[in-house]
Amino acid sequence: MAASTRFCVAVHILAALALQRGKPVASEAIAASVGTNPAVVRRLLSDLARAGLTRSQLGKGGGAMLARAPKKISLLEVYRAMDEPAIVAPPRSTADQTCLVGRNVQPALRRVTDAAEAAFFEKLAGANLKQIVKDIKADDMAA
């Protein structure tokens, strides 16, 4: 199964907000930068707001903005806000419980995959939105 692209789009959105330094940005403007539909952006913003990472101002002149300084927003928080399913998913079919392997493989395997996922999350926890914004600027200068 493929990984969700929602996380990448969410980071794109947040980076765009960070560059506006608190000025409300309309979902339509963000959607133009991402290359998608405004409603898709609003749906993601809804998730981000629920996670406390952004807030929106309704009405004319409104839009989304960061709820905190970019430095205080870790990429793990963004990932979590997306409610992604586990990286390694157990089979949908149910294994034969009368079989030694069928009864016990998945729990045994999960110990390993849980540790692997934890390592993945730790790396995301170590990165924050400010770094991304900094890299965006630096890369653009270099190009």
Partner DNA sequence: GCAAACCGTAATAGAATTAGTTACATAAAT
Partner DNA sequence: ATTTATGTAACTAATTCTATTACGGTTTGC
Residues near a copy of itself, by CB under 8 A = 1-5, 7-9, 11-12, 15-16, 19, 32-36, 75, 84-96, 99-109, 111-113, 115-117, 119-124, 127, 131-132, 135-137, 139-140, 143
- What letter represents residue 22's amino acid? G
Q: 74: which DSSP letter?
A: B
**Closer residue to DNA, CB minimum distance, 117 or 131:** 117
Q: How many CA atoms lie within 13 A of 62 on its CB side?
A: 7
Contact pattern for DNA over residues 36 through 75, marking x by CB under 7 A: xxxxx-xx-xx--x------xxxxxxxxx-----------
**Closer residue to DNA, CB minimum distance, 80 or 130:** 80
Give the separation between CA 116 and CA 120, rounded to whole angstroms. Answer: 6
Nearest-5° Cα angle at 108, 107 to 109 = 90
